[in-house]
Amino acid sequence: MKIGIFTATYLDLKLEEVLKKAVSLGYEAVELPAFKNNPHLDIDEIIKGDNAKKFKKMIESYGLIISALSNHTETNLILGPYGVDTDGIFKGTKEEKIAYGMERTIKTAQAANALEVPVVCGFTGVENFGRFFPFPYSKGWSEMEKVFVEYFSKILDKFSEYGVKFAMEPHPNQLIYDIYTAKRSIELLGDRTEWGFNFDPANLIYLGIDVENFIDTFPKKIYHVHAKDGEIVSHNIRHSGNIPTGDWQRIDRGFRFRIPGWGSVPWKKVITELSLIGYDYVMSYEHEDVTMSREDGITKTIAYLKPLIINKPYEGRNDVLFQ
Amino acid sequence: MKIGIFTATYLDLKLEEVLKKAVSLGYEAVELPAFKNNPHLDIDEIIKGDNAKKFKKMIESYGLIISALSNHTETNLILGPYGVDTDGIFKGTKEEKIAYGMERTIKTAQAANALEVPVVCGFTGVENFGRFFPFPYSKGWSEMEKVFVEYFSKILDKFSEYGVKFAMEPHPNQLIYDIYTAKRSIELLGDRTEWGFNFDPANLIYLGIDVENFIDTFPKKIYHVHAKDGEIVSHNIRHSGNIPTGDWQRIDRGFRFRIPGWGSVPWKKVITELSLIGYDYVMSYEHEDVTMSREDGITKTIAYLKPLIINKPYEGRNDVLFQ
Amino acid sequence: MKIGIFTATYLDLKLEEVLKKAVSLGYEAVELPAFKNNPHLDIDEIIKGDNAKKFKKMIESYGLIISALSNHTETNLILGPYGVDTDGIFKGTKEEKIAYGMERTIKTAQAANALEVPVVCGFTGVENFGRFFPFPYSKGWSEMEKVFVEYFSKILDKFSEYGVKFAMEPHPNQLIYDIYTAKRSIELLGDRTEWGFNFDPANLIYLGIDVENFIDTFPKKIYHVHAKDGEIVSHNIRHSGNIPTGDWQRIDRGFRFRIPGWGSVPWKKVITELSLIGYDYVMSYEHEDVTMSREDGITKTIAYLKPLIINKPYEGRNDVLFQ
Amino acid sequence: MKIGIFTATYLDLKLEEVLKKAVSLGYEAVELPAFKNNPHLDIDEIIKGDNAKKFKKMIESYGLIISALSNHTETNLILGPYGVDTDGIFKGTKEEKIAYGMERTIKTAQAANALEVPVVCGFTGVENFGRFFPFPYSKGWSEMEKVFVEYFSKILDKFSEYGVKFAMEPHPNQLIYDIYTAKRSIELLGDRTEWGFNFDPANLIYLGIDVENFIDTFPKKIYHVHAKDGEIVSHNIRHSGNIPTGDWQRIDRGFRFRIPGWGSVPWKKVITELSLIGYDYVMSYEHEDVTMSREDGITKTIAYLKPLIINKPYEGRNDVLFQ
Amino acid sequence: MKIGIFTATYLDLKLEEVLKKAVSLGYEAVELPAFKNNPHLDIDEIIKGDNAKKFKKMIESYGLIISALSNHTETNLILGPYGVDTDGIFKGTKEEKIAYGMERTIKTAQAANALEVPVVCGFTGVENFGRFFPFPYSKGWSEMEKVFVEYFSKILDKFSEYGVKFAMEPHPNQLIYDIYTAKRSIELLGDRTEWGFNFDPANLIYLGIDVENFIDTFPKKIYHVHAKDGEIVSHNIRHSGNIPTGDWQRIDRGFRFRIPGWGSVPWKKVITELSLIGYDYVMSYEHEDVTMSREDGITKTIAYLKPLIINKPYEGRNDVLFQ
Amino acid sequence: MKIGIFTATYLDLKLEEVLKKAVSLGYEAVELPAFKNNPHLDIDEIIKGDNAKKFKKMIESYGLIISALSNHTETNLILGPYGVDTDGIFKGTKEEKIAYGMERTIKTAQAANALEVPVVCGFTGVENFGRFFPFPYSKGWSEMEKVFVEYFSKILDKFSEYGVKFAMEPHPNQLIYDIYTAKRSIELLGDRTEWGFNFDPANLIYLGIDVENFIDTFPKKIYHVHAKDGEIVSHNIRHSGNIPTGDWQRIDRGFRFRIPGWGSVPWKKVITELSLIGYDYVMSYEHEDVTMSREDGITKTIAYLKPLIINKPYEGRNDVLFQ
């Protein structure tokens, strides 16, 4: 397994500066943002001529690979919410947002294909996440599932053409946010190879789920992994609850995103299960820790995770004791 | 403290049949539904002439009191969601829904006044509960708070005129759903006497909150209490998570509503804290248990809760040992 | 659901005395022992003439039903152990023990048929339970599984003829002792209707299993239930461990059998899951509590369990709030 | 086992009123206070003439026994603290306090002898409980132990003469307050029969001790039992800690005394262990619950405990299955 | 944040030897003892002439700063206990002890001023810690609080003149020992800037307090931090309880002081909260671990804590995803 | 304490290759297998001439010591099981197996003597481990204890002659497998110095035992320690139970052997207790981790354990604060 970094953490720096820093600390892969106007990767340009080839060479010159292109932004336009909530991403009518979101998602796959990157990470959006609760509208959730099948079947057809997989990142305020909805998504789409998950344990840990169960439930469907942690703030949770709203920095929150090793994710167990299912790709670090600087994060994360990587599975024993 | 029953559980029975049954089992109070066309109480009619007086007399003839009028239905129109999610309650444009919701809420207070009932229970609605998570729209929640202040200030002015209190029931898929948002609501409205809570521990227990903390945080603000339990399904939670979607009856859910004593609410602790803050009104049983019949529920609930009621606080001791 | 009693607890009393006592306390069913020379039921005699009809009538005259015939004794001869360990049951060579065990098991089915009792409870035996651990003989367990299939396929063919089901009671020192081995047994036999389980939560609770999982895993396979509890002795377990040997009465044991409500079995959860899977037969009390008299047990058990029985599933709600 | 009541809870009532009330609810024994000027029992008078005989007859006329005489007050004078802390009990110099405390303790034994009551309950006092921590004076605790041996050896010699046992109640702010100090006390005194314990689980539970361990550690030394509970207030403890100071009624305390069944004492386990060690005397209810009235307490306690009493130990089984 | 060391651990070594050792291992600060006749710092001498200047230069020549002067010894004389318990510190009448204690405390502030050290750490003493329990003397604790205000107001006036803060270390057998008493101390003194805390989590952890709550409760009042851990000995606690007396080395103790990382203090959480409240001073290691040598401690502590230090708070993110 | 390695993990490599690898990573001791035909040590040869001397010299030339000779294989023949279960070790009748097992065990002691190795590690065997449960044969376990005493008394007499100790490794499917059976073994043999334990916490942790209790119970009897961990697979245990059968690699097992630091053994606590009882010998790493390669294991184990070794006990403090 390799430890990578999601460069979206450093949109204020030039990509090559990020690469240099990452390599110097021991990171071995990068996950690149794909949304419009991000300063690290312009997918409209990359698909032209031999831009992709050159870009890839540049990345490789640092000894790095690109683990995934990620479009957590424009993918939200597909299932919504469509109004003001996503105007910051793209302004338009519901129909325009959907069309644009689908187009950009597909273009991300095209760019991935050009760059020989096997995975695109992203979201699905959700028109109204509150419908997880069946009141006041008990049919709300299943109606959103129908729309999901319609749009994503089309998107995945294109992914299939590009030979690229879509790794949905289960996350609150998304249609897929836990093991049950992840399972539903596979059933609804008809178990397509193009559809799998970007496993980010931080997004699941605070729901009371043993995140190891996510891995064991989907041994063939984990296409990418985020090295992000989430802290169930034990001295706050009994007051705050686990799905608090309000400022990430307020001191009495029951949940915060953290860097690996500083939250509630049992990393040794996560890495053990990933090893048991044969996952041998990238764990990509993304800084969303609200208590420490990115400098603290980038340094502490690699120092923490590197010694935990399991390099090979057990060979068994063949002596007289265990034959 | 009295044990009451929310008759909304028995909309298929005539009100007097419910009253008979309740009284025969030992219930001492009723909470009545106020939404349009419910078969137990027509608030449009009750406010006319001496209808209220007669109705109240009828209730009292069973040895019962009315603990609250409850409008968990039409109150959802005020803050939304406004589209298809609330069409089952009232069809119309957003503006029409808001106007109707406010009008009905106020009329419920008028009816309560007529019936000399001190409390109206209800919800606030929430346009998009998913905004509790600050992505993709970080300003979403605070914008909804502004609308909340605008509409509810007007509503509470009317409640003030009627001498009736509004007891908001913190609940998922509502703007107020935990201790933090409950605290915010008091601050935002300017701590008005008309604004308080219908404490239903089942709605809070599965967020990891010690529900006793809700009581101790709001010693002056608990205007009504629901005797409803919620089961964190311990053998499922680590797979399912605590905010599952899907059918209430599916066997692998991590959370279910239950009758008191069959879920995770620590009733002795709840009753102890209620006693310590001096709450001496009604605990109203509402059947939403997905595992047993209403007959099971109505019988088991009173048998469970009755022996737990604390009748009086400690008088202290004055002998030589404790002077 | 009915609460029954396994009369094997009272082999020192005449059956009718037991029936009288049971009925007077509110028990509604009896489970009867079938092993040779037990004073309550002689299966060799019962299958003759109209003995069964008369016996059944006698039972019914007390307002009782026979929930099951149980042969936890002679069934151990089938898979062993065969030497001194089972000489108390039947002396003979391995082959003789197997033959006798199978014959008696089948005869129990014949008696059940005659008495119109749908279920026979019993064990399988296990030659060497220590083989659960794959050292020193890693093939030991799977070899025993082969023998199991051979003998029990024959037995179940006969059960099929008699229209009777075999309810194996998962238990330590048996081939089936946990969820995994129970699942294996179904697979190995080819999921036959004649094969299911007598669910006794006390036998599973101390292995760290959530016994509710057993119920949910086998919704169609629970043919009978034992109302027996097991106490993980919390103040002893960290010294004693959970599979102690030695006298049941020694005070420092980490595990003890108990009557329902005095151990670690979460009975409300057990009854909830049984209700959800539609189990509507008998919970049969068997006294093996090492801390209190049978008189304590028979009285306390029915007093504890009776109010917990769920009589009917939820009917749902159909008003405007939940349509 | 019998359930009794400590009448010290009702010093505002005449003794016979308390007896009437207790008997009417099902209590079977009384524990009587022995300190000077208490209105229920004057030990100076009782030892005169046939006063004891008459008094005992009066008690018995209610169908009650006297389980113990209790002097939790004057016993504090023996080991202190000697200054203002005990002036409310008896004013005097250190030496005068000690002499008076010893004299009164011995007189309590004399009264018990006269009344044919086998046990006197009480404390030891402790000059400075803070010395449990070895700073600033590491020799402080062992010096107090020496004094303890000196005074209590003399007292117990007298108890021996009267054929009465002293049941020390381990309690914070006493020299004996946990299992370790209880064990020390036995060692220090040379394991005298006159010295044992009044086991009050409420006084131990909040130290993190499994109170069952107290019972199992001293199977021969439990001479009397208090039916008092202590609540580790789970929603407060992580702020308050377990040894809080300040008003018993303040809502944020991490620990409170409660009636049986409303605190953290596992009563079924306590009664099980008491049964296993063969304790067959009295559990005496003492009301110190700060959240409910004595009327609540006296009613709820007996209703809770009565069904939990184990009447006889297990007789074992002798059929072919368990020989 | 810097990691320092309290040199009181090494009173058998010359100060400069300790400094050399500390620096060589990476420590960056020293906390120095101030009590009479300690071999590291003579405060009577240091306040004379330019002694302080020279001493400070010597310390700085090692690249170290002085984080605090600490007088945990003589501060105990102020509130007591006054008899034999503090004779090892200073012999005299109660009045003489108080006067001397106050004088020495003030002189420590004077020395800190001379050395430009902003903080003096210390205790308050407590006449009888057992009064935390309101029996036998319910007014005892509040009387000690009055004395506390009287003496410490005077002391803090002097600290104010010297521009030095007093950092009281909450600790068992002191008037301030938990969050509640710490809060009381602030209220009682009138929230003076000179009064704050030396946060030593080891002293709080075993009371069941989440030590993070201490930090969050007093964001402006933590003036110094001790890097000391406390082990709630999980395999002993249920026998021993959490406030055991007796030898620190006895193997069955439920609580022991330890070095950071070997006890129950959640250091990542502690450092996270310290970071969130903006604490950016020193964590000072003090060896009181009863299971390992000082050499083990000094090496392991710095190796454990150094990688955990959070250097800077989160800068936030400003891209399109989080605007 | 030294960290060693059990070379049985590498029977596919020549011994000297293993030694080189071990030394290069920092291991300081080796535990060598003694069973017939193992490629690392031929005990039949080693006892001849000066073979032992040469072999020892060779080991020492790597800077290593031999911590123990281990015969976990042939020792199983002594108490069985005797049939097919141990045919892989030695084929023969029961009597032949016993004779051979005893002879080989004694010869291992002879070899240890020759090599000046103080300890032989091994098992006892158990004829039928299932007898830990007293059904169907309640006398089974105590009968096996009698045989144990007979055979092992003879063996230990020989060990005594050779001046070598036998360190039994408590383990499932052995007569000694928990604290209780370990205690029994000492009692049964009459507390002989030759009899003690090879403490392997992995074999105990999953029984719910706090393994620290094993250490504290047998402070004089721990002759050797295995650095092996066991993972109670928290996300599986509630389905699987703690004594699962079936393939070590199946992903849903509730228990797995692991390398130190990746399981449930609290190593800091284990090392603390070992330090407190004065154990100062070897912790020997044995690879049975089913999730990672031996290369992962040998590297991670030493990196994890080395910094945790406690080198010396606490010296105490002698300043004025603690005299």
This complex has an ipTM of 0.95
> Is the Cβ pair C138, A321 closer than 8 Å?
no
Minimal-distance CA residue of chain B relative to E323: B138
B307 touches chain E (CB under 8 A): no
Residue with tokens 């009545």, as numbered in its chain: B32
> How many beta-carbon pairs below 8 A join chains A and D?
3
E197 DSSP β-pair partners? E168, E222
Residue D214 reports pLDDT greater than 80: yes
pLDDT at C315: 85
For residues B152 and B105, the answer to whether their CB atoms sit within 8 Å is no
pLDDT at A316: 81
From the list E219, E312, E319, the residue facing A8 with the nearest CB is E319
Distance from the B317 Cα atom to the nearest Cα atom in chain C, whole angstroms: 35
Q: Which chain D residues have a beta carbon less than 8 Å from that of A254? A: none
**Which candidate in E210, E320, E322 is best for mutational testing of the B interface (most B CBs within 10 A)?**
E322
For C50, which DSSP code? Answer: T
Distance from the C311 Cα atom to the nearest Cα atom in chain B, whole angstroms: 6
> Is the Cβ pair D249, B273 closer than 8 Å?
no
φ and ψ at residue B63, rounded to 5 degrees:
80, 20
pLDDT at B320: 55
pLDDT tens digits, residue range B1-39?
999 999 999 999 999 999 999 999 999 999 999 999 999
**CB-count burial class (<10 Å; 0-12, 13-18, 19+) for D36:** middle
pLDDT tens digits, residue range C230-260?
999 999 999 999 999 988 989 999 999 999 9
Q: Which chain B residues have a beta carbon less than 8 Å from that of F235? A: 238
From the list A233, A261, A294, the residue facing E315 with the nearest CB is A294
> Is the Cβ pair E321, B138 closer than 8 Å?
no
Rounded to a whole number of angstroms, the distance between the first and last alpha carbons of chain D is 31
> How many beta-carbon pairs below 8 A join chains D and E?
160
D305 touches chain B (CB under 8 A): no
Average pLDDT across chain D, whole number: 96
From the list C89, C133, C137, the residue facing F84 with the nearest CB is C137
Q: Using CB atoms, which chains have 3+ pairs under 8 A with B?
A: A, C, D, E, F
User: What percent of chain D has pLDDT above 90?
Assistant: 96
Average the pLDDT over D208-235 and give the result.
Answer: 98
F321 touches chain E (CB under 8 A): yes
Q: Of the given ranges (A111-120, A257-266, C159-168, D312-321), which has the lowest mean pLDDT?
A: D312-321
Q: How confident is the model at residue B316 (pLDDT cuts 50, 70, 90)?
A: confident
**Which candidate in B179, B181, B211, B245 is best for mutational testing of the A interface (most A CBs within 10 A)?**
B245
Residues 6+ apart with CB under 8 A from E146: none
Strands A165-168 and E282-285, sheet pairing: unpaired
pLDDT at A260: 98
In order, the DSSP letters of F98-164 are HHHHHHHHHHHHHHHHHHT--EEEE----S-GGGGS-SS-TTHHHHHHHHHHHHHHHHHHHHHHHT-
Distance from the B319 Cα atom to the nearest Cα atom in chain C, whole angstroms: 37
Q: Which chain D residues have a beta carbon less than 8 Å from that of A238? A: 235, 238
E209 touches chain A (CB under 8 A): no
Looking at chain F from residue 252 to 291, which residues have their Cβ under 8 Å from any Cβ of chain D? none
pLDDT at B292: 96
From the list B210, B219, B311, the residue facing D296 with the nearest CB is B311
> Is the Cβ pair E180, D232 closer than 8 Å?
no
**Which candidate in C251, C267, C301 is best for mutational testing of the D interface (most D CBs within 10 A)?**
C251
Distance from the F228 Cα atom to the nearest Cα atom in chain D, whole angstroms: 31
F311 touches chain E (CB under 8 A): yes
Residue B322 reports pLDDT greater than 60: no
> Is the Cβ pair E246, D89 closer than 8 Å?
no
| Dist CA A170 CA A182 (whole Å) | 7
For residues E69 and E121, the answer to whether their CB atoms sit within 8 Å is yes
pLDDT at A322: 55
Low-confidence stretches of chain F (pLDDT beneath 70): 317-323
From the list B130, B134, B213, the residue facing A130 with the nearest CB is B130
> Is the Cβ pair B311, D293 closer than 8 Å?
yes
Average pLDDT across chain E, whole number: 96
Taking only Cα atoms into account, the Rg of chain F, rounded to an integer number of angstroms, comes to 20
At position C303, the amino acid (one-letter code) is A
Q: Per-residue pLDDT for chain A (323 aa), expressed as one digit of tens each?
A: 999 999 999 999 999 999 999 999 999 999 999 999 999 999 999 999 999 999 999 999 999 999 999 999 999 999 999 999 999 999 999 999 999 999 999 999 999 999 999 999 999 999 999 999 999 999 999 999 999 999 999 999 999 999 999 999 999 999 999 999 999 999 999 999 999 999 999 999 999 999 999 999 999 999 999 999 999 999 999 999 999 998 898 999 999 999 999 999 999 999 999 999 999 999 999 999 999 999 999 999 999 999 999 999 998 865 555 54
**Which candidate in C210, C317, C322 is best for mutational testing of the A interface (most A CBs within 10 A)?**
C322
In order, the DSSP letters of A211-223 are HHHHHHH-TTTEE
Q: Using CB atoms, which chains have 3+ pairs under 8 A with F?
A: A, B, C, D, E
pLDDT at F315: 85
Looking at chain C from residue 18 to 77, which residues have their Cβ under 8 Å from any Cβ of chain F? 73, 76
Question: CA of E266: how far to CAs of A250, E198, E299, in Å?
Answer: 20, 18, 20
Minimal-distance CA residue of chain D relative to E215: D239
> Is the Cβ pair C321, A136 closer than 8 Å?
yes
Residues 6+ apart with CB under 8 A from E143: D84
In order, the DSSP letters of A115-180 are TT--EEEE----S-GGGGS-SS-TTHHHHHHHHHHHHHHHHHHHHHHHT-EEEE---TTSS--SHH
> Is the Cβ pair C321, A135 closer than 8 Å?
yes
**Which candidate in B314, B315, B322 is best for mutational testing of the D interface (most D CBs within 10 A)?**
B314
Question: CA of F65: how far to CAs of A302, F33, F115, in Å?
Answer: 36, 14, 10
> Is the Cβ pair F135, D322 closer than 8 Å?
yes
Q: Using CB atoms, which chains have 3+ pairs under 8 A with D?
A: A, B, C, E, F
φ and ψ at residue C256, rounded to 5 degrees:
-145, 145
Question: CA of A22: how far to CAs of A15, A298, F273, in Å?
Answer: 10, 8, 42
For E223, which DSSP code? Answer: E
Distance from the C237 Cα atom to the nearest Cα atom in chain E, whole angstroms: 11
Minimal-distance CA residue of chain D relative to F321: D136
pLDDT at B319: 58
pLDDT tens digits, residue range B193-207?
999 999 999 999 999
φ and ψ at residue E120, rounded to 5 degrees:
-115, 125
From the list A135, A138, A322, the residue facing C138 with the nearest CB is A322
Rounded to a whole number of angstroms, the distance between the first and last alpha carbons of chain C is 31
Distance from the A240 Cα atom to the nearest Cα atom in chain B, whole angstroms: 6
